[in-house]
Structure 1
Amino acid sequence: MQTEIMILAAGAMLLFVHIIIPSTLKTRQYGIDWNTGPRDETMPPLNPVIARLARAQANFQETFPIAIVALIGVVVTGRESDLSAIGGWIWLAARLLYLPLYAFGVEKIRSIVFLVSLVGLGLVLYALVFG
C-alpha cells in the first residue's frame, strides 16, 4: 500500500475521532433525548471544551478534502515521492497534535501547528502539480 493511502486512511480515522468525541460529549451535556430528537430547540451554549472540540471538528472537515485530493492525486497520477510522503506525514502529525491543543485551549502553539499542517499539504500539492 502506498504511503499516501496509509496517511489518508489514518486521516479518515482521525476524522472519525473528531466526530465521535464532541458528539458523545454533547450528548452527555444535553441528554439522550436531545441526541435522538429533532434538535429544533435552542440549547444553552456548550461547555468551553466541547465547543472547542466542535470547532476543531469543523476545522478538520474544512481541510480534509484538500488532503484527500492531494494524497489520492499523487497516487493516481503516479507522482508519489519522498516529498509527498513527508508532506503527508507532516500534515497528519500536525493534525493529531492540533486536536488536543485546541481542546485544552492552548493559544498560539495551536495556530502554529495548524500552519505546519498547511505546509505539509502544500508539499503534497507541490508534488502533485510539479512532481
Structure 2
Amino acid sequence: MDTDTAFPLTPELIWLTRVALLTALLWVPYILQLIVQLGPVKAVWDPTGAHPHNADWALRAKRAHYNAVENLAVFAPLALIVGLTGIGTEATALAAAAYFWLRLAHYVLHTFAVPVLRTVVFIGGFACQVVLGLTILGFL
C-alpha cells in the first residue's frame, strides 16, 4: 500500500481492531465448556447447532458474546467514520479505548451474573458510541 495515500491508523481505528479481535475470541470459553461437557467429538458433531450447555455461566457467556457482536455492528461504522475522515479528538480516542474495556468488563460481569454493574457497564459502552456519533454529526 502506498503510504502517501494510506489512511493513518488513528486511535479509533486501533481500538476498533482490538474490539473486533476481542469479539472474535469471546466464543472460546463457552465452546471449551461444551467440549469438556460432551467430549470433542460430540461437541462438534451437532447437525442442529443446538448445543446444550449444562453450565449456566456458559449460557451467559454465549449471550454476552451475542451482545458484543450486536454492539460491534454499531461501534464499527462509527469508529470507521471518525478514523477515516480524520475528525477524531481526544474525546473520541478516549471513547474508543473505554469502549474496549467496557465491552470486556460487560462480558466478564455477564458471564459471572453480576446484574447491576453489568447494566452500568453496558450503558457506559453505549455512551462511548454516542460520543462517536455526536462527533460525526458535529455536536461535539
Which ranges of structure 1 fall in alignment gaps of 5 or more residues?
none
Which stretch of the first structure deviates more once superposed, 82-91 or 42-51? 42-51
Q: How does 1:1-131 map to 2 (within 5 A)?
A: 1-40=9-48, 44-130=52-138
Percent identity reads 18
- The aligned amino acid for 2:86 is G
Which ranges of structure 2 fall in alignment gaps of 5 or more residues?
1-8
- The aligned amino acid for 1:101 is L
Whole-Å separation in 2 of the counterparts to 1:38 and 1:113: 35
Residues 90 and 117 in structure 1, CA contact (< 8 A), matched pair in contact too: yes
Whole-Å separation in 1 of the counterparts to 2:113 and 2:69: 19
| Residue 30 of structure 1, CA deviation | 2.5
Residues 12 and 83 in structure 2, CA contact (< 8 A), matched pair in contact too: yes
Sort the Cα spacing of 1:98 and 1:42 in 2 relative to 1 into closer, same or farther, 3 A.
Answer: closer
| Residue 17 of structure 1, CA deviation | 2.4
Greater Cα radius of gyration, structure 1 or 2 = 2
Q: Show CA shifts across 1:38-62 (max 9, x none).
A: 4328664531110110010010011
Higher helix fraction (1 or 2)? 1
Residues 94 and 117 in structure 1, CA contact (< 8 A), matched pair in contact too: yes
Q: How many corresponding residue pairs?
A: 131
Residues 43 and 51 in structure 2, CA contact (< 8 A), matched pair in contact too: no
| Residue 31 of structure 1, CA deviation | 2.3
